[in-house]
Structure formats: structure tokens, C-alpha cells
Amino acid sequence: MLQRPRRNRKSEVIRQMVQETHVSAANLIFPLFIVDGENQKTEVASMPGIFRYSIDNLLREIESCMKLGLHSFDLFPNIEESLKDKFATESYRDESLYLRAIRAVKKEFPEACVITDVAMDPYSSDGHDGVVENGEILNDETLEILGKMALAHARSGADIIAPSDMMDGRVGYIRNVLDDNGFTNVSIMSYSAKYASAFYGPFRDALNSAPKFGDKKTYQMNPANQREALIEANLDELEGADFLMVKPALPYLDVIKLIKDNTELPVAAYNVSGEYAMIKAAIQNGWLNEQRAITEVLTSIRRAGASAILTYHAKEVLLNKWL
């Protein structure tokens, strides 16, 4: 045998020398849930170790992440039912929980990278990402609201706007609104290939944002489709996106790879709430080794081609020095 691949695996030093993929703190984005009030920190039942924070506690949580070298955060608001309406007007009200949170984080931690979620669902009385009329999700009417929301985020100090709504044309629409208002430096991380997935359940529990009727299949993608992700990714690139995201991550590693191979833009992947819940449940049962399972998941998402990973594991992997 001339070739014995095992020679390159014979010691830890050699294994590390030939390791192709690494995960570091710089690749990680930590999603954080926020609620109104003071001194709140309540655990999400289906996401052990993940909490909803009031703004005061959010700042302390971000401070402890920053000390670990984790600098990027994606914020999601839990909005009181009484503030929701058909047009998500709460999403761009100047004193809303979300805009106050963005301002507070950027004021205390100007060097942190704040990513904001643009979609109507946390603020919509219908629980959908767009305007609903006679059971239908209207596309172009929704764009106007997304534009107002994105502009409010930029004015509050957002570094990166992340539209997660899957309406057609929203990246270009938001890019224009931002540019027309002088925010040419605010980036767009587009949820390009976002699938109508079963793995968002725990997130919707965290935000109490589940659709009040029907499902999201007329705007989120069919899990059976791969080529269609290229249509979405190409459009977002043409419309001015700075990052292309695939979501969920683990069941869609092929899509991450496909998009990576077809763009020069950085690709992001969202290791979503249901993926987190699945791993944690197995660990709680003693069925998986925590450190090994989590680092394998993150490494695999990087290996598929993601530069950035949005993951609820971000803090624990750094706290435990697992990387």
C-alpha cells in the first residue's frame, strides 16, 4: 500500500495539522430573546439554557458574552399580545421594546455587532410574516412595512438588518429605503433559503409568535427543493444582499454547500431552535456526549460552507472552552 490515510491521523499533533475546518468565536452569532419589564430572565421551556431577558439583563448577558470573545448578537422580541395588530405597527414605534433594546446595546457596547430581525410575525395579530387579507399573505403591501421596520432598526443603530420574512423583492426594497435615508453602511444579511420547517417550534414558543391560522408554506420554501434555493440566493445577491443565509442548518447542509459554490458572498446558516432542542433533549437523557455532539454540529455547518453560524450554542461553547 502506497497510500495509508491513517498515517495522517496517528497523533493529535498531526490530526490538528491537517484539520480542514475550524470554528472560532468570530464565526458565531448568538440569538437573544427579549421581553419588556425589569429584571426578567425566564427560561424557554423547550430550550433549556436559553432565556428571555428584559433590557437590563440583556445588557449583562451581552457583557458576559463579550468577555468570552462573542461579539455578534441577533435580537428577537417577545411582544405583548395587546400591542400586536394586523400591520405590525409596534415594529417601528420609536419607544417599542425592540428599538429601545437596540439603542441600549449599541450605547453600552458600540463595538458589538447588532443584527436585527425584519419580519412582521412577532408583532402581527395574525402571527404571519406579512399582511393578511382574506387568509392570503400579501407581498407588496408587506414590503412597505418591512421598509419602515428596517429603517427604524438602522436609525436605532443596527449594524446588520436580517430580513427573515421571505417576501419577494424585500432585499432590494429594504436596500433602497436604507440608501435613500443615508444608511448606505448598514448591511443586509438575507434569509435567502428559508424553509417551511418543523424546527422553528421552540422559537415560536419563546416569542409566542406562532401563526394564528394556516402555515407559512406560501412564502417559506418547500423542504423538498434544492435548486429553488439558487433562485432565491441569486435574486438576493442582485438586490444587494451582503450575506446569504440558509435556515435551518443541519437538515440543509446540501443547500449551504450549493449556495456557497454559486456565490462569492459570505454564506450564513441558522442552527435553529428545534435543532438546539433536539440536541439538548438527547443530552438531558444521557444519550449524547454534550461537548462532542455540539462541536460536531457546528464544525459540520462550517464544513458545508457557512462563514457565520447563528446558534443558541454560541455562549456555552465559549464558556466551556469547547472550540
What distance in Å separates the CA atoms of residue 15 and residue 154, rounded to the nearest whole number?
45
Q: Report the 3 state secondary structure along 232-291.
A: HHHHHHHCCCCEEEEECCHHHHHHHHHHHHCCCCCEEEEECHHHHHHHHHHHHCCCCCHH
Q: Is residue 203 at the binding interface for ligand PBG, with CB under 6 A as the rule? A: yes
In the set 84, 194, 260, 315, the catalytic residue is: 194
Q: Is residue 91 at the binding interface for ligand PBG, with CB under 6 A as the rule? A: no
What distance in Å separates the CA atoms of residue 151 and residue 180, rounded to the nearest whole number?
10
**Which residues inside 146-165 make contact with ligand PBG, applying CB under 6 A?**
164-165
Asked whether the beta carbons of 35 and 81 are under 8 A apart, the reply is no
**Which residues inside 257-286 make contact with ligand PBG, applying CB under 6 A?**
272-273
Could you tell me which residues are beta bridge partners of residue 192?
Answer: none
Q: Which stretch binds ligand PBG (CB under 6 A): 4-12, 56-64, 113-121, 222-230?
A: 113-121
Beta strands at 243-247 and 187-194: parallel, antiparallel or unpaired: parallel
Q: Is residue 79 at the binding interface for ligand PBG, with CB under 6 A as the rule? A: no
Residue 197's alpha-carbon distances to 186, 275, 276, in angstroms, are: 29, 11, 14
Q: How far is the CB of 270 from ligand PBG (least distance, A)?
A: 6
Residue count, binding to ligand PBG (CB under 6 A): 11
**With respect to ligand PBG, which residue has the nearer C-beta, 263 or 311?**
311
Residue 247 known to be catalytic: yes
**With respect to ligand PBG, which residue has the nearer C-beta, 198 or 319?**
198
Q: Is residue 124 at the binding interface for ligand PBG, with CB under 6 A as the rule? A: no
Q: Examine residue 211 and say whether the peptide bond preceding it is cis (omega within 30 degrees of 0).
A: no
Asked whether the beta carbons of 92 and 118 are under 8 A apart, the reply is no
Options 36, 117, 236, 237; binder of ligand PBG; rule CB under 6 A = 117
Could you tell me which residues are beta bridge partners of residue 42?
Answer: 52
Q: How far is the CB of 170 from ligand PBG (least distance, A)?
A: 12
Q: Is residue 200 at the binding interface for ligand PBG, with CB under 6 A as the rule? A: yes
**With respect to ligand PBG, which residue has the nearer C-beta, 130 or 305?**
130
Measuring CA to CA, which residue among 128, 117, 200 is closest to residue 161?
Answer: 117
Q: Is residue 121 at the binding interface for ligand PBG, with CB under 6 A as the rule? A: yes
Measuring CA to CA, which residue among 320, 116, 232, 34 is closest to residue 298?
Answer: 320
**With respect to ligand PBG, which residue has the nearer C-beta, 23 or 146?**
146
For residue 319, give the H/E element and its range. helix 314-319
Options 58, 119, 298, 308; binder of ligand PBG; rule CB under 6 A = 119
User: For the window 211-230, what string marks contact with ligand PBG as x by the rule CB under 6 A?
Assistant: --------------------
Options 90, 129, 232, 237; binder of ligand PBG; rule CB under 6 A = 129
**With respect to ligand PBG, which residue has the nearer C-beta, 221 or 272?**
272
- Residues in the chain, how many? 323
In the set 84, 106, 212, 247, the catalytic residue is: 247
Query: Residues near 193 by Cβ (< 8 Å), separated by ≥ 6?
Result: 221, 228, 229, 232, 233, 244, 245, 246, 247, 252, 255, 259
Q: Which stretch binds ligand PBG (CB under 6 A): 3-11, 116-124, 133-141, 233-241?
A: 116-124
Asked whether the beta carbons of 126 and 213 are under 8 A apart, the reply is yes
Residue 280 known to be catalytic: no
Question: Interface residues with ligand PBG (CB under 6 A)?
Answer: 117, 119, 121, 129, 164-165, 200, 203-204, 272-273
**Residues labelled catalytic:** 194, 247
